[in-house]
Structures are given as structure tokens and as C-alpha cells.
């Protein structure tokens, strides 16, 4: 038709958008991804912290057990004395090399023969004795230099030689190391501490290593007191027949072959087995609710609920200065 216009409608453009269902699905997926990422981060962070604490605890444990081991290897040591007129070899020190208590000493500053044991709860304690020289201890800066005890203090040479029969010429006094190791502040800031002889008296206690929570000691004993200066091997004196704790050593039937019961009983000790329970320096973040499982020094499963890691370190040391090899 003339004058008529063809009408063609404009194309309609669809407006895009998310439906409510699509929006909810997107938000849910995002939250799942975020939760997974956070969980992975927390697990990675916890694993990194645990690994760091385990490494430090292992280093502390190795250092502590090596320190005790080094001291026990010297227990009973005495320099040889060769008299001018003969070939007999003797030593200054011939008394008991070690003495211990299962729950600690009542007074760790008492004389060796007067040490008494505490009761109740507590860790083992041990006194280790040997002749100290500037060769087997750190020397002081004095002139002349002196041997030192377990905390680095000088030891005056005030102990009379026990060599018998006395050689000619008579030996002078010597420095006797008498170091007492124990665990202190077990519940708050556990650490291995020591107090040692400074000559005529025992010095004050000083901390050595942190994070040592407890110590348990057993003693390998022979049937009779060792004869460390004997010329021949005697299985009754130099063969370990069992491991006992300190109270069991004190309860041994004395043979009275030595002047005192203490010398007789503790003179039978030929080896020492030490177990240290170490604790991590800090608790683990987000520790399991059930607690951290570990084995104690009796090899029994225990569970700590304070978040700290724990591990035992054990060594057995032969008192080589008290044994005659067959």
C-alpha cells in the first residue's frame, strides 16, 4: 500500500543475571574453598611448629644425656701413684664412685657419707665422685690453675690421699670432684641442676640444662664390692648380676668387707642406667583434645594434657674405673 510503512519491531536484548539459587551455590563453593585453605594453613603451621619443637627437644635431650654420660665415665677415676722405691701402682681415690636416691637428696649439700634420701614424689638424684685434674675438667684461670666442678667453680686440693699402704714419699692432698645431679622445678621450669665440691664444702646448686622434667636411675651391681685396684679378674666383684634402684642398693645385705655398709653396698655398682624425660620448650598450638601421648622411663604409655611434647632419652654407662677386664 502506498504510504504504508512496514513495521519491524526492534530486537529485544536479554538482561543477564544470577538467580538466587546460583548465588547460593557460588557462595557455598567459595566458603568450602576458604575453609579448606584455612585448614591446610593451620595444619601446615602446626606441623612446622611441632617439627621445630621436636628438633629443639631432641637437641636438648642429646646434650643432657651426653653430659651425664661423660661424668659417669669419669666416676671412680684416680691418678696413678708410683712410689719411688717400688713398682706398686696405687691411686689417691678409692671410695664409692657413685651414690644415689630415687626421690632426690634431703640435703644435697651434705657430706657424701651423710647423704640421705627424700621420700614421696620426685626424680632420682646421683652423686658422682672422681679425682679432678686440669686435664679431665676445665681449668680455672688461677695461677696455678685448679680443676673445676660441674658448674665451673674451682676445687681446692683439700682431700687426703687414700692410697694404702701409703707410698714413700707420701702424696699430697688432691682435688676430689663430688658432683650432685638432680631435677629441680619439675612442675614450672624443669631443669637439670648440679652442685659440686669446691674443696672442703659443697657449693650452691646451679641450673645446667632446661626442659629436663624427670630423671630415673638404675644401678648395675655385682655380688661383692668391686676391687678396682685388683690385679686379677674376680667374677664376684666384676660381673653385673642385676639392675637395682637406689633403695634396693641401700637394702643389699652388707658383706662388711669394707669399713662401712655404704662403701660395701655402693662399692658393688659397676654400671649406671640413666633415663631422662625431656619436655618441649613450649606447648604445641591447637594440641589434640585427647592429649599428647609419650612413653615414660618405665616404657609405659602416658598422656600429657598440657600441650607439651615429651620424649625419653636413655643410656647405660660402664664405670670403667671400677672394672677389671678378664
DSSP class of 210: E
Q: Rounded to whole angstroms, how far apart are CA atoms 168 and 85?
A: 7
Within 10 Å of residue 164's Cβ, how many Cβ atoms? 9
Highest averaged pLDDT of the listed ranges 29-38, 79-88, 111-120, 259-268: 111-120
Average pLDDT, the chain: 86
Residue found under cell 557460588: 26
Q: Where are the domains of the chain?
A: 48-322
Residue 290: how many CA atoms within 13 Å on its side-chain side?
3
Q: Please name which of 159, 161, 138, 164 lies closest in space to residue 150, comparing C-alpha atoms.
A: 138
**So what's the pLDDT on residue 166?**
77
- Whether 235 contacts 185, CB under 8 Å: no
Confidence check: pLDDT of 17 > 60: yes
Report which secondary-structure segment, H or E, holds 28. Answer: helix 20-74
Q: Please name which of 250, 89, 114 lies closest in space to residue 178, comparing C-alpha atoms.
A: 114
Highest averaged pLDDT of the listed ranges 29-43, 154-168, 238-252: 238-252
SS3 298: coil
Q: Rounded to whole angstroms, how far apart are CA atoms 192 and 189?
A: 10
Q: Cα 236 vs. chain centroid, distance in angstroms?
A: 31
Mean pLDDT lowest for which of 26-40, 90-104, 174-188? 26-40
**So what's the pLDDT on residue 294?**
93
**So what's the pLDDT on residue 128?**
98
**Phi and psi, residue 79, nearest 5°:** -65, 145
- Whether 178 contacts 196, CB under 8 Å: yes
**So what's the pLDDT on residue 42?**
66
Q: Rounded to whole angstroms, how far apart are CA atoms 59 and 264?
A: 38
Report which secondary-structure segment, H or E, holds 183. Answer: strand 176-184
Q: Please name which of 182, 187, 78 lies closest in space to residue 133, comparing C-alpha atoms.
A: 78
Q: How confident is the model at residue 245 (pLDDT cuts 50, 70, 90)?
A: very high
267-299: buried (b, 16+ CB within 10 Å) or exposed (e) per residue?
Answer: bbbbbbbbbbbbbbeebbeebeeeebebeebee
- Whether 194 contacts 181, CB under 8 Å: yes
- For residues 163-180, average pLDDT: 87
Angle at 99 between CA 95 and CA 104, to 5 degrees: 155
Distances 261 to 118, 191, 253, 266 between C-alpha atoms, Å: 19, 32, 9, 8
- For residues 94-118, average pLDDT: 94
- For residues 249-274, average pLDDT: 84
Q: Rounded to whole angstroms, how far apart are CA atoms 175 and 71?
A: 16
Amino acid at each position: 500500500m502506498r504510504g504504508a510503512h512496514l513495521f519491524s519491531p526492534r530486537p529485544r536484548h536479554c538482561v543477564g543475571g544470577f538467580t538466587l539459587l546460583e548465588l547460593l551455590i557460588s557462595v557455598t563453593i567459595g566458603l568450602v574453598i576458604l575453609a579448606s585453605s584455612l585448614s591446610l594453613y593451620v595444619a601446615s603451621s602446626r606441623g612446622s611448629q611441632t617439627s621445630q619443637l621436636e628438633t629443639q627437644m631432641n637437641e636438648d635431650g642429646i646434650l643432657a644425656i651426653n653430659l651425664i654420660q661423660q661424668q659417669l665415665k669419669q666416676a671412680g677415676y684416680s691418678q696413678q701413684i708410683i712410689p719411688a722405691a717400688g713398682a706398686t701402682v696405687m691411686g689417691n681415690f678409692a671410695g664409692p664412685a657413685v651414690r644415689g636416691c630415687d626421690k632426690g637428696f634431703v640435703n644435697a649439700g651434705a657430706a657424701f657419707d651423710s647423704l640421705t634420701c627424700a621420700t614421696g614424689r620426685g626424680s632420682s638424684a646421683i652423686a658422682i665422685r672422681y679425682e679432678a685434674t686440669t686435664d679431665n675438667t676445665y681449668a680455672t684461670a688461677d695461677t696455678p690453675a685448679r680443676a673445676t666442678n660441674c658448674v665451673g667453680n674451682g676445687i681446692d686440693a683439700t682431700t687426703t690421699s687414700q692410697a694404702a699402704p701409703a707410698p714413700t714419699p707420701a702424696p699430697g692432698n688432691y682435688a676430689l670432684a663430688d658432683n650432685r645431679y638432680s631435677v629441680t622445678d619439675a612442675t614450672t621450669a624443669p631443669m637439670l641442676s648440679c652442685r659440686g665440691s669446691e674443696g672442703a664444702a659443697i657449693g650452691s646448686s646451679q641450673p645446667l640444662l632446661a626442659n629436663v622434667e624427670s630423671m630415673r636411675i638404675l644401678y648395675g651391681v655385682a655380688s661383692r664390692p668391686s676391687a678396682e685396684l685388683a690385679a686379677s679378674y674376680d667374677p664376684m666383684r666384676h660381673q653385673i648380676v642385676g639392675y637395682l634402684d637406689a633403695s634396693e642398693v641401700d637394702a643389699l645385705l652388707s658383706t662388711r668387707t669394707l669399713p662401712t655398709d655404704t662403701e660395701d653396698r655402693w662399692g658393688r655398682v659397676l654400671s649406671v642406667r640413666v633415663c631422662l624425660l625431656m619436655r618441649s620448650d613450649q606447648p604445641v598450638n591447637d594440641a589434640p583434645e585427647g592429649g599428647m601421648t609419650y612413653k615414660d622411663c618405665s616404657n609405659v604409655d602416658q598422656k600429657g594434657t598440657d600441650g607439651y611434647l615429651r620424649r625419653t632419652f636413655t643410656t647405660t654407662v660402664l664405670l670403667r674405673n671400677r672394672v677389671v677386664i678378664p
